Amino acid sequence: MSGTAAATGSASCRFAHYFVECGVDTETGLEPDDGAGEGFEQSPIRRSFKSKVLVHYPESTDKNPFNKDAINMLCMPRGLSFRTQAERHDSQFHSFTMSFDDGTRSYGFVHTFYEEVTSAQIITAMQTLFQMHHVEHHSASSASSPSSSSSSASSPSTSSMDSLVSSLDESDAESVAGLSACLGCAGSYDPARDTLYVSKALCLLTPLPFLHSARQFLSQLHQAVTAHTAPPLPIESYIHNILYEVPLPPPGRSLRFHGVQGPIVCQRPGPGELPLGEFPLGEAFSLLGVDNMVQLITCALLETQVLLCSKDYQRLMTVAEGITTLIFPFQWQHIYLPIVSAPLHHLLEAPVPFLMGIQRREGAQRSSLHLPHEANMCFVDIDNRCVEAPEALPEFPNHAELIQELSEVLLRFGLPPQGGVTKKPDTASPRMSSLVLEDLMEDRRNGNLGGEELAVLERLQALARRCGGEKMSDAGKTLEHVFEEEEEELKAAKLNIQLREVFAGRFSAMFGRYEEFVIHSALDLDSWLSNREGTLTFDKGSFLSGQPVTHLHFLSRFLETSMFSSFVDGKVISRWADREPLQQLFDSRLERDRLYNTDEEESRNCRYRKCTTGFESAQAVERRLLKADHTAIHPHLLDMRIGQGRHQPGYFPKLQADVLTQGQNTNKWSGRVTASRRTDLKRSPVTDHSGVDNEQRQKHAFARKTLRQSKLLDSSPQAVTQNHREFVGGLLSECRLKTKRMLMERMGKESVELGQGEANITGLQENTLIHGLCDLLERTWGHGLQLKQGKSALWSHLLHYQAAWGKTETPAEAPGCNGLDQRTFEDGALLLRGSLIQDMRFIQTMGEGLSEVGQARAWIHLALEKKMLSQHLKELLTNQELLRQLYKRHAFLLYEEEREQFLFHLLSLNTVEYLCFTRVFTSISISYRVVIIPMKKLSIAMATVDPWVCVSGELGDSGVRPVTKNTQEIYFQCKNLGRLSTLQLGQENSGLLAKCLIDCVMVYNEITGHTYKFPCGRWLGKGVGDGSLERVLIGQLVSPGGEEDAGRWTGTPPELASPSQSVRAVLGSLGSRSRMLSSEVQEEMREAANNLVKHFHKPEQERGNLTVLLCGEGGLVLSLENFLLHGLKSNRLFLRNVFVWDFVEKAVVSMETADQMGDLHGATMTRGPPCDSLCRYVNAINATPRNIGKEGKFQLLVCLGIRDRLLSQWLPLLAEFPLTLRTYEEGSLLRDRAAVHSLSRILHTLNEFSITLETALVKGVDL
């Protein structure tokens, strides 16, 4: 490429886009920086003043317009600062980044130094300010004394400058004397004695993060300005050169260009390498330590709010860029502002994930920061090496192994894994210009030094070391310094690559097969975009089912993040458009890994494998840095008039706009560009992993963005208001999407229970979605908050509401002692308010040691389970006076229309059933109420019995609880039983008159409001029915009734479907059941067995209640009972019920009798293990002290037989026994060999599963 082409070509081809100079504007004078948050009590020389962009070149570039205010704010985040000659005024370096709406970024590199003030106007203004400050200070001191406590009523901060200046003329001699005495103290300024310096910033804006190159160029530029001798060329020549004549190096190549005092080399990774990342990761790990850094990256991956804090702006940028670099191939999708200046501190209220950094003021403490969102915030104190992560943060997969590998990498480079103070290179040390040394350096970089020259260099280095200190020659200093910087840069680059390869290897291991789970459902991109919200693009359940259990907590939350969704969306869009470069690179790396790892089983092994590509990748960078592939055009004289560009030591010159506004035609320099360089530029892309210029992809990108990044840097009131409006809209949209996703998840659970998609791990995903809902509510309640207690904004609001409600409560309005009392109130508002406060009080007294955040989440879980979340929050927001006290005008909760829509979306969650509170808080004490309901016509019979109950659930049982006679109900507290499954109902009185026909038993959970029904429909008492004194009842969760809300749920999960309400013991005679068709009985049996098989093929977290499938309506026990009742003969003369257990007992007695009497026919039929086991099990059941009746004994036999894999052997044994011919009719199923064989095979398929029975079913039997 010729010089002309380089000068006039697109800005995207150039190394740098803009050169900027920021500082004090002598025309407008000093303007106080109102956003700095500094008081007037500070000395003027310690205050911050507004800076201005003095010049920038060029005026504008293609696709990258110059944002004057934003760049000024980022170049000098704290504005102008002043110093005197008595104070240190070392130069400083920091960088920043700007994000654009299309997802691309621009990088700024800033060299800040102090320049002597020559403007008389500025000097006079500073002197006036200091005198004003002294008078104010003296007046305040006088006012504070008792004698003059009422002498001053006006605040100094509100006094106008004119009145303060006039007061100087009226000050007395004492004030003047005090002023003279104060001039020698710290922070004082006397123009007659002191020299005033003001900060100035030189900035280079580049499209890629060329940190080292830009830093060297700016440092050399400043050194040339401060040197006593003029540089070889005017400063404009070097700036023009880097803006218009230094191109971007092509991918996989390095480029050498020239600064004021020496050559500078930059390099760019090849297409198959990780993207460019020059920010020193070694420094980031040293600042925080490996453990903290991994925890911080985990927070970023899960899209929590990350807030960095440090006194040093460059530290903020180093850590922030380190995070975004290490999460390859994923990209941060939310607010990204590593440096947030004071005028932008309102962005800390943003109710969205962000990654931001703020500067810590000298002496400021962590407690002085009032942050609205702390429930899900990761606060990073870089200077004190402290990371405050959110509660319940999951560990990164293979956490210990990853930390060990990272520690080994750091130790190889001499860095302690626990972190330590990093020594920053001295960027301001002087470097003398030497043509001989420059040539030697270039030859060394290019590998062109022969043996003699290398020996000379070694002798020069040795001489420099021997001379040491002040005796060292200028040439020795320069050579030593250059070599040290080169080695440090090379070391940092190699360390960067190796650390990044470790993380890239981890993501490759976790997502190596992600393409198999991407769902391509749309026919074209337009239809996919139009149905984006309702389209699933990734099979999360199937993906998680193949992951190690220890990884699930992290992965389930990561799959819900925007960065992962965007990554998968990119894969879907790649069917119709070019793949994004980052995704293309990641896919190619996965393909390479598959080629090298041919063993499929080994590649899917969960064992941790260390990264093996780090050394190779580091070598590629080293080769490029040591040997530059191309050399850019040297700086040269420009077409400037004589006298322009004069050198004045210590002062940055006033640049000549006519030569820097645009590139000049410099054909005479075009020969310096090599032919290979021109070829590379023709075939290489001009952007680095910034995406393709594709209209459809841009359409998708803009559709996904809810915030325009470019608007965030605008601190004008109109822009701030607009940003908060967008935050409000974003929260409402997020609520809609989250509730829709939660509803879809529950529908997915129901489909799993119906046998579809058995691989889904819906319980884990459900917990993840509820965690996301808690996070959303915390961010919503934290938006615009101005008064908060603790870390949780929601809990703070609830506490304020509780306090306000307590003041207004009257005895007549006081809530009852329990939930049932509240149901008697007719005033709906009082009912809601009472339950809201009641739930709060319960959470406060749970005794779990919860933090404010934990209490808020517990309250959300409880309200969600009670289907009262929307109602509770609506009641909370009815106190408008409290809202106005707690929130600013722009807060989401003060937008009435959006707030109502938000609550409406939450109301939709009432259509599904959650047990999130019951299953999370397992150790708390719960109040239960049990009500025994007899048949209406026989309710008086309850007076003759002394019943007792024992309630069992997923987490344990209540123990035996006696019911007071004639009450039919009992109220008790015990440890959380989880979802209830069985209830043992018995009676102590065994007299013949003590009997009762029980309809059902109802159990109420007084905390969550859940109601469980345990149908019975049988007698309890001796001499009636099967003579049982104890029943084991199977329960189901009953839908809540009586609510008038529109979102009330009307269905029950399939596994909890209500059984028939018929009274089996009374109406279910033998004749009615024997008349069932054999095909119906067989189909019922197959369905019961099939349900068990499907149950065990589900993930363990979602298997539900096995007892229901065994003993409930349509379960295995009842189906097998119907099978054995089919065709069973009965004595119709006495119309007595016949039970299957009678037949089994007779069969066992016959077997044992035949064995004892030696009956040949009987012995041949009964001899063997199946016969022995059947006899042993039946005798053991008969010997149990429990009076569970004949039906209960048969149920126990079936459960034990299926548990011990014996049931499939017993059925053929009973079918072949001679007693069967006498007991069953000819057409019965038990006498049908084909039916028995088929049923035996079905039961045999259940032998492969491990069945665990509830204690309530097998209590009292030792088998």
Report the CATH number at residue 1029: 2.60.60.20
Would strands 377-381 and 92-99 be described as parallel, antiparallel, or unpaired? unpaired
Q: Is residue 817 classed exposed, middle or buried when 0-12, 13-18 and 19+ CB atoms within 10 A define those classes?
A: exposed
Q: For residue 40, what pLDDT is reported?
A: 60
Q: How far apart are CA 1127 and CA 1225, in angstroms?
A: 5
Alpha helices in 896-977 (DSSP H): 896-907, 916-920
In a domain, 601, yes or no: no
1055 with 1086, same domain: the answer is no
Would strands 630-631 and 980-987 be described as parallel, antiparallel, or unpaired? unpaired
**How many CA atoms does the CB half-sphere of 1013 hold within 13 Å?**
17
In a domain, 789, yes or no: yes
Kindly compute the dihedral angle of the four CA atoms of residues 495, 496, 498, 499, in this order, to the nearest 10 degrees: 110
Q: How far apart are CA 382 and CA 319, in angstroms?
A: 8
Counting every residue written for the chain, the total comes to: 1263
Nearest CA to 296 out of 316, 323, 321 is that of: 323
Q: How far apart are CA 79 and CA 70, in angstroms?
A: 12
In a domain, 638, yes or no: no
Q: For residue 687, what pLDDT is reported?
A: 43
Q: For residue 1040, what pLDDT is reported?
A: 61
- Which tokens is 291 given? 């453990």
Alpha helices in 869-1020 (DSSP H): 869-876, 880-886, 896-907, 916-920
Identify the CATH number of the domain in which residue 1077 sits: 1.20.58.900
SS3 758: coil
Q: Which domain holds residue 886?
A: 717-920
Can you state the angle between helices 290-301 and 399-412, rounded to 10 degrees? 130
SS3 1229: helix
**Bridge partner residues of 116 (DSSP):** 197
Query: At residue 712, what are phi and psi to the nearest 5 degrees?
Result: -65, -30
Q: For residue 1060, what pLDDT is reported?
A: 41
1047 with 1138, same domain: the answer is no
In a domain, 539, yes or no: no
Cβ count within 10 A of residue 424: 12
- Which of 899, 920, 941 is the endpoint of a domain? 920
Nearest 5 degrees, angle CA 1120-CA 1122-CA 1124?
A: 70
Query: At residue 327, what are phi and psi to the nearest 5 degrees?
Result: -90, 10
> Element (H or E) spanning 166, and its range?
helix 161-169
Which amino acid is residue 872, in one-letter code? H
Q: How far apart are CA 1121 and CA 1137, in angstroms?
A: 14
Cβ count within 10 A of residue 725: 13
- Which of 206, 229, 257 is the endpoint of a domain? 206
**Bridge partner residues of 1000 (DSSP):** 933, 1015
Domain count, the chain: 5
In a domain, 502, yes or no: no
198 with 326, same domain: the answer is no
In a domain, 265, yes or no: no
Q: How far apart are CA 734 and CA 741, in angstroms?
A: 10
SS3 content of the chain, % helix, strand, coil (to 5): 50, 15, 35
915 with 935, same domain: the answer is no
ω into 329 cis (within 30 of 0): yes
Would strands 630-631 and 254-258 be described as parallel, antiparallel, or unpaired? parallel
30 with 177, same domain: the answer is yes
Q: How far apart are CA 386 and CA 380, in angstroms?
A: 6
Q: For residue 688, what pLDDT is reported?
A: 45
For each successive 10 residues of the chain (1263 residues), what is the average pLDDT? 42 86 87 65 80 89 84 90 84 90 85 89 85 73 48 37 38 43 58 85 94 93 88 89 92 91 90 90 93 95 94 94 94 92 86 92 70 86 92 91 93 85 43 42 50 49 44 50 78 91 92 88 79 79 86 92 91 84 88 73 64 78 86 87 69 84 52 42 41 47 54 84 90 91 73 38 77 92 82 90 74 41 36 69 84 91 91 92 90 92 93 87 90 73 77 88 84 90 82 76 90 88 80 82 37 37 41 64 88 78 73 86 85 63 87 66 59 88 84 89 88 85 85 88 88 82 76
Own/partner contacts of 1041-1046, CB < 8 Å, gap of 24 or more, are 1043/867, 1045/871, 1045/907, 1045/910, 1046/907
In a domain, 309, yes or no: yes
1105 with 1236, same domain: the answer is yes
871 with 963, same domain: the answer is no
- Which tokens is 865 given? 């389970």
Sign of CA dihedral 1239, 1240, 1242, 1247: positive
Distances 93 to 157, 216, 425, 428 between C-alpha atoms, Å? 33, 11, 11, 10
Nearest 5 degrees, angle CA 1057-CA 1061-CA 1067?
A: 140
Cβ count within 10 A of residue 472: 17
SS3 797: helix
DSSP 301-317: HTT-EEEEEES-HHHHH
Q: How far apart are CA 332 and CA 323, in angstroms?
A: 9
Nearest CA to 1001 out of 1022, 991, 987 is that of: 987
Distances 975 to 102, 144, 972, 1015 between C-alpha atoms, Å? 55, 62, 10, 24
pTM of the entire predicted model:
0.81
Residue 1190 Cα to chain centre, angstroms: 56
**How many CA atoms does the CB half-sphere of 250 hold within 13 Å?**
14
949 with 906, same domain: the answer is no
Q: How far apart are CA 884 and CA 861, in angstroms?
A: 27
300 with 194, same domain: the answer is no
1109 with 1183, same domain: the answer is yes
1167 with 1230, same domain: the answer is yes
ω into 58 cis (within 30 of 0): yes
Q: For residue 315, what pLDDT is reported?
A: 95
Cβ count within 10 A of residue 264: 22
1094 with 1072, same domain: the answer is yes
Identify the CATH number of the domain in which residue 343 sits: 3.40.50.11500
Distances 482 to 212, 262, 1258 between C-alpha atoms, Å? 13, 10, 82
945-977: burial string, b at 16+ Cβ within 10 Å, e else: bebbbbbbbbeebbeebebeeeebebeeeeebb
> Element (H or E) spanning 959, and its range?
none
In a domain, 102, yes or no: yes
- Which of 206, 229, 250 is the endpoint of a domain? 206
SS3 931: strand
In sequence order, the 6+-apart residues with CB closer than 8 A to the CB of 671 are none
Query: Residues 1101, 1095: contact at Cβ < 8 Å?
Result: no
Nearest CA to 881 out of 807, 814, 830, 828 is that of: 807
Residue 395 DSSP code: P
